[in-house]
Structure 1
Amino acid sequence: MPIKNSLKIQVGNNSDIMKKIIYLFIFISLLLINISCQEKTEEYGQPSIFEVTTTTKSEAITTAALNDWITVSGTNFYDIEQILLNDISLKLNDVYISQNEITFQIPRKLPEDVNNLITIITPQGNASQHFVIKTPELLVKGLSNEFTLPGDSVIILGDNFDLYKFDTTMTVNFGELESLIYKVEKEKLYVKVPDKTPDETVVSITNPLSKEKVKVLGLYRDTRSYQIMTFDNKGFWTNTNLTAGPDSLSINGKYFHFKGKTTFNYMIHFTPNELIKDKSIFNSQNITKYQLKFEILTFQPYGKTFFSISFAASPANVVYLWKPAPFDTQKEWKTVTIDLDNWDFSSTTTINNNMYINLQSTTAEDQDFCLDNFRIVPKD
């Protein structure tokens, strides 16, 4: 019996020892976890930014444009909660993040509050770096067809219309008349020309962000008589058998319609009573202020055809080769604009009242297109 009691006491003591060992193990484990967490916090610390580079890391940069890819280098890029470019928050799912690098594409969006900072926000703290995001300008060019008939649709050409928040609640001014925009794209605003819009009308739009009025380049239906050469009884032209209209295609009475092959240099020859009243525009100091414009409609695209456009002059004609190929207006009239300083008048002593347009191609090419409203007008 004494032996049994002794054994019971020994077993009981072993049980207490085991409990103490277990408690000690739990305590040590919790202590180690706590120390590990403290070390982790100390290891992460507050983030810092060393530099911003291109994604190839070939050079450090301080500015970039919308849609550019950039890499931010630094330390402690852990548990990132937010990345700000000015006041624009990036979608973290679209960002490549490692401990020392962040790579992302600058979103195509304009900030409301510009502070010129990249800001990284984490639970351990924030980091900022001065960085300028280039803001593209609102670019307004001209009308897709300056001779669009009243009541028909026309496109205002430019760039960044979507970025500047144009929408279909806004209007375009045709002089004193207004027309609602019915479609917006990055480079185009679609609108109908109001009925009874007069010729030589100034077209303008309003910048939604700045509220400033912006003029569309050119005039709607610029018919200033001394500057225009149409196919309607204004001077003489050769190949009148190719004059068509007025008909459903007309935008200004008669027009020139060529259908065939262009290898034999078909020619249009204008001899208006007055090609240009003020010949001083051809002087070197003035020529940069003017443009040649005309409308063209293609029934099929062409790839090699080009126009040789020349002014009769002494001692020699002044020629410019317009080579837009490949070119296709998709059966719609489009306005073409060519700066007049593409012609070299530096050796010219006299400008005559003749203009020649040769249709040329290096190889045989079937063509079907129309031309109208050749004119020289001042630049805006």
Structure 2
Amino acid sequence: MHMQTKKNILFLFAAGVMLAGILGTSCKKDAAPDYGIPTITRVAQPLDSASIVTGSFTQWVIIYGTHLGSTQSVSFNDQEVPYKTIYASDSSVTVQIPRAIPKDVTNTVTVTTKGGKATFSFTTVIPPLQLTGMLNEYTAVGDTLILTGANFDLYGLDTTATSVTFTGGSTVNIAGGTASTLKVVVPASAQPGPVTVKGIAPLNISIATVAWYWDNRNFLFDMSNFNGWNGKTYLSSGPDPAPVNGPYFKVAKSWQGGWAWDPFCSNNCAMPAELVNDPAKYINYALKFEMYTPLNPPALPLKLYMVFNSGNFKEFFYDAGGGSYPYSTGGKWRTFTVPLSSWGNLQGFTFSNPIIMEFMLKDSNPSQSNFSICNFRMVPIN
């Protein structure tokens, strides 16, 4: 036989053997991959290896264990993590705790893989609904009152189906809402007092403000008949800005610095009977007032200095701007709350009735101000 013919026969034989092997292999059923039964051994934070047993909404956590590489889903209580945000390896799964209130609270985290399911004891802290107050307690009838707080959306209160009932019985639906604000147009029959916010099914949440709309309790003095020894020259009834509730102090002036004593208001101020009878209850009270500054500087250039100046002298620098000055209210009246507990020096203090209070701007450096302020009142906040 010719040599070339022999080579061709050998090649065809070898090719046939290979093809038979391939066909034989392809006809066999693939063996199922061994994913392994998943386990969870602990949970930790991404930048801290210490184990944790509780977590908060939107917090990133790492779930450690075995056979986690084929993770298909992760749930905290009954709230599932979006699949695209799951980062899994064989020994860990990194996820963000969903921001949603569970219907069934099991205090567990569950990881489901192609090999099975693992459940681990883990408590997700559910944030409370907070209704903290109003941006301007003296919002006029027909204007939009803004209620402030936290987690309105979690509790289903950020929809226009949510209602607000004012003292006096007037009920209106909100005009709009976010996680931290609810907007409602003040009805003509609204009376001074707390307001109640009510949601719809299935939660049917109802919560009332501690703060009062048009809070007329415990005014320190009557600005319509002001008789203090400092302040009359600053009294104004508008038109710039338009008054929110009668006369106000318009403090547009130069301050000389050098820690000079230069009050824009000094007066004998009325104190609530409860505070006079039991001074330890100061922790339940706050000084409130409304303040307005124009959009542009000078506005409020520094902290507002206030002092109880009867007998035992007590002073406080109120940081209305949160450390950022000059501070502006954006050309709107705003309510400010100064808890007496924040003074840090009133334990054992005796509140007389009346008591001298004085207000000013006081600093080492000269400054220029342009703010308006009114409705000084001492009210319960707890």
Scaled by the length of structure 2, the TM-score of the pair is 0.84
Could you tell me which residue of structure 1 aligns to residue 305 of structure 2? Answer: 308
Give the AA of the match of 2:287: L
Determine if contact 2:301/2:368 at 8 Å carries over to the other structure: no
Query: Cα gap change, 1:17/1:361 in structure 2, threshold over 3 Å: closer, same or farther?
Result: same
Determine if contact 1:235/1:270 at 8 Å carries over to the other structure: no
For 2:284 and 2:313, the matched residues in 1 are separated by: 21
For 1:93 and 1:345, the matched residues in 2 are separated by: 54
Task: Please give the residue correspondences for 1:1-380 in structure 2 after superposition, counting only pairs within 5 Å.
Answer: 21-22=17-18, 24-26=20-22, 29-30=25-26, 37-38=30-31, 41-42=33-34, 44-166=35-157, 167-175=159-167, 176-198=169-191, 200-208=192-200, 210-224=203-217, 226-245=218-237, 247=239, 249-262=242-255, 263=257, 265-271=261-267, 275-276=270-271, 278=273, 280-281=275-276, 283-299=278-294, 300=296, 304-314=301-311, 316-325=312-321, 326=324, 327-341=327-341, 342=343, 344=346, 346=348, 348=350, 352-380=354-382
Q: Residue by residue, what CA displacement relative to the aligned partner does 1:58-96 show, whole Å, maximum 9, x if unpaired?
A: 211111101111011122224332222222222222222
- 1:252: Cα distance to partner? 0.7
Give the AA of the match of 2:228: F
- 1:243: Cα distance to partner? 1.2
Query: Cα gap change, 1:347/1:291 in structure 2, threshold over 3 Å: closer, same or farther?
Result: closer
For 1:221 and 1:237, the matched residues in 2 are separated by: 28
- 1:142: Cα distance to partner? 0.9
- 1:336: Cα distance to partner? 1.1
For 1:182 and 1:76, the matched residues in 2 are separated by: 51
For 1:119 and 1:236, the matched residues in 2 are separated by: 67
Determine if contact 2:155/2:203 at 8 Å carries over to the other structure: no
- 1:340: Cα distance to partner? 2.4
Scaled by the length of structure 1, the TM-score of the pair is 0.85
Higher mean C-alpha displacement, 283-292 vs 342-351: 342-351
Identical residues among aligned pairs (%): 23
Determine if contact 1:145/1:154 at 8 Å carries over to the other structure: yes
Q: Residue by residue, what CA displacement relative to the aligned partner does 1:321-351 show, whole Å, maximum 9, x if unpaired?
A: 2133323211111111112242526254855
- 1:216: Cα distance to partner? 1.0
Determine if contact 1:137/1:160 at 8 Å carries over to the other structure: yes
Give the AA of the match of 2:254: K
Query: Cα gap change, 1:28/1:221 in structure 2, threshold over 3 Å: closer, same or farther?
Result: same
- 1:188: Cα distance to partner? 1.1
- 1:172: Cα distance to partner? 1.1
Give the AA of the match of 2:176: K
Give the AA of the match of 2:170: L
Give the AA of the match of 2:117: N
Secondary structure in 1 matching 2:21: helix
Give the AA of the match of 2:208: K
- 1:292: Cα distance to partner? 1.0
Query: Cα gap change, 1:116/1:350 in structure 2, threshold over 3 Å: closer, same or farther?
Result: closer
Query: Cα gap change, 1:249/1:81 in structure 2, threshold over 3 Å: closer, same or farther?
Result: same
- Calculate the aligned-residue CA RMSD, in Å: 3.1
Give the AA of the match of 1:26: I
For 1:267 and 1:297, the matched residues in 2 are separated by: 18
Give the AA of the match of 1:317: F
Secondary structure in 2 matching 1:319: strand
- Highest CA radius of gyration, 1 or 2? 1
- 1:122: Cα distance to partner? 2.5
- 1:221: Cα distance to partner? 1.4
- In structure 2, runs of 5+ residues without a counterpart are none
Secondary structure in 1 matching 2:84: helix
For 1:307 and 1:155, the matched residues in 2 are separated by: 25
Query: Cα gap change, 1:23/1:147 in structure 2, threshold over 3 Å: closer, same or farther?
Result: closer
Query: Cα gap change, 1:254/1:99 in structure 2, threshold over 3 Å: closer, same or farther?
Result: same
- 1:286: Cα distance to partner? 2.1
For 2:287 and 2:379, the matched residues in 1 are separated by: 7
Higher mean C-alpha displacement, 368-377 vs 340-349: 340-349
User: What is the number of equivalent residue pairs in this alignment?
Assistant: 365
For 2:178 and 2:149, the matched residues in 1 are separated by: 10
Q: Residue by residue, what CA displacement relative to the aligned partner does 1:121-149 show, whole Å, maximum 9, x if unpaired?
A: 23322222221111000011111111111
Give the AA of the match of 1:310: V
- 1:14: Cα distance to partner? 6.9
For 1:16 and 1:369, the matched residues in 2 are separated by: 100
- In structure 1, runs of 5+ residues without a counterpart are none
- 1:17: Cα distance to partner? 5.6
- 1:373: Cα distance to partner? 0.3
Query: Cα gap change, 1:366/1:130 in structure 2, threshold over 3 Å: closer, same or farther?
Result: same
Determine if contact 1:295/1:336 at 8 Å carries over to the other structure: yes
Query: Cα gap change, 1:122/1:271 in structure 2, threshold over 3 Å: closer, same or farther?
Result: closer
